[in-house]
Amino acid sequence: MTNPVPMTEIWRGPFLESVHHGQAVVCDDSGQIVSAWGDPDAVVLPRSSSKMIQALPLIRSGAADTFHLKSEHLALSCASHQGATIHTTPVAKWLLELGLSDDDFRCGSQTPNDMDARKALIRADKSPCQIHNNCSGKHTGFLTLNKHLKAGPDYVAPDHPVQKACLEAHEEMTGMTSPGYGIDGCSAPNHATTLHGMARAMARFAAAPEGSAEERLRTAMMLHPELVAGEGRACTNLMRAMGGKVAVKTGAEAFFIAIIPEKKMGVALKIADGATRAAECAIAAILVKLGVLDAEHLETKKYLNTPIRNWRGTQTGTMRAAPPLL
């Protein structure tokens, strides 16, 4: 990434110990840039921050209504979940209703990040399944669309009808031709765009009218923040702190987006070194700057102006937004 700017600082006592650089764009509903840090034309892979775009064909095709999907299903289709029971139980039921099983997934097995779920597997001497994969909700959405389209089983192949529909949605929402793709951790193609393109897409989600596919997905995320990520996760905590008025979504390698319906604005952010802690701090700072997140909220303080403590509980430093964000 070229021209990143300081975004998150790590202080130890009076010393600036580390600095995370990154880039971000805020767009309005016309697609124009409201604020930018770094290069808006930097090419990025939005990773899991693009899940709501990948879920658009699920609704637009008619598959969601044909299979009577509720807001919980739509939230899970956008999720990077913890593999907790609240995630795997509804995904398992959804799969069963499709007449499918864990073997139909193409996302791969993953040890759940939820400690209770992980300990339950250890006690039962069982291995994790694909349903525990943090992307299993997205993949169940893919399988739903695939069944609706009556297409072949390898739904993650770039030339498969499911992925062609995802690419079409991606290019429509970003307003640009994708320069290519990388294969994501869950084996699905992840299409590249620019930070401006991704912020433009999120602004379109923010401004979309009631009843549209975009509105249904953003509303599902805001209604069910615990399904989008999980207890203790930044996405869940920040959406709760904003009272369900803003949708936020992280992506691997320190990507983050925000959808702000009240302001009809979208945000896209990428930390150059891939540090998640820096992305969480930076997105919180931008949301505070935009007036949709209270800087004094207890959840905000987990990510912005956050005390750093050692193993004895002694405060040794602070994580804070760098001056360019302020």
The token pair that represents 315 in the structure block = 């405060």
For residue 14, give its domain range.
1-46+199-210+229-326
The token pair that represents 132 in the structure block = 């525990």
For 206-234, how does the pLDDT look when each residue is reduced to its tens digit (9 = 90+)? 999 999 999 999 999 999 999 999 999 99
d(CA 162, CA 265): 28
Asked if the structure places residue 222 within a domain, the reply is no
Q: Does position 2 have pLDDT exceeding 80, yes or no?
A: no
Q: pLDDT-based confidence at 163, cuts 50/70/90? A: very high
For 130-150, how does the pLDDT look when each residue is reduced to its tens digit (9 = 90+)? 999 999 999 999 999 999 999
Pick from 135, 127, 249, 222: nearest CA to 187: 135
Sequence-separated (6 or more) residues with CB below 8 Å from residue 193: 43, 44, 46, 170, 174, 176, 178, 179, 201
What backbone torsions phi and psi does residue 218 show, to the nearest 5 degrees?
-65, -40
Asked if the structure places residue 42 within a domain, the reply is yes
Last residue of a domain, one of 138, 164, 191: 191
pLDDT reported for residue 314: 98
HEC string of 188-238 equals: CEEECEEHHHHHHHHHHHHHCCCCCHHHHHHHHHHHCHHHHCCCCCHHHHH
Q: Does position 1 have pLDDT exceeding 70, yes or no?
A: no
10 and 60, same domain (yes or no): no
301 and 286, same domain (yes or no): yes
119 and 81, same domain (yes or no): yes
Number of domains, the chain: 2
Asked if the structure places residue 178 within a domain, the reply is yes
What predicted TM-score, i.e. pTM, was given to this entire model?
Answer: 0.97
Q: Does position 294 have pLDDT exceeding 90, yes or no?
A: yes
Half-sphere exposure of 176 (CA within 13 A, CB side): 18
Half-sphere exposure of 140 (CA within 13 A, CB side): 36
* β-sheet bridge partners, residue 5: 22
250 and 309, same domain (yes or no): yes
Asked if the structure places residue 203 within a domain, the reply is yes
Average pLDDT over residues 66-70: 98
Question: 268, 199 in Cβ contact below 8 A?
Answer: yes
237 and 316, same domain (yes or no): yes
| 229 burial level (CB within 10 Å; 0-12, 13-18, 19+) | buried
For 170-207, how does the pLDDT look when each residue is reduced to its tens digit (9 = 90+)? 999 999 999 999 999 999 999 999 999 999 999 999 99
Asked if the structure places residue 238 within a domain, the reply is yes
77 and 39, same domain (yes or no): no
Asked if the structure places residue 72 within a domain, the reply is yes
74 and 107, same domain (yes or no): yes
55 and 182, same domain (yes or no): yes
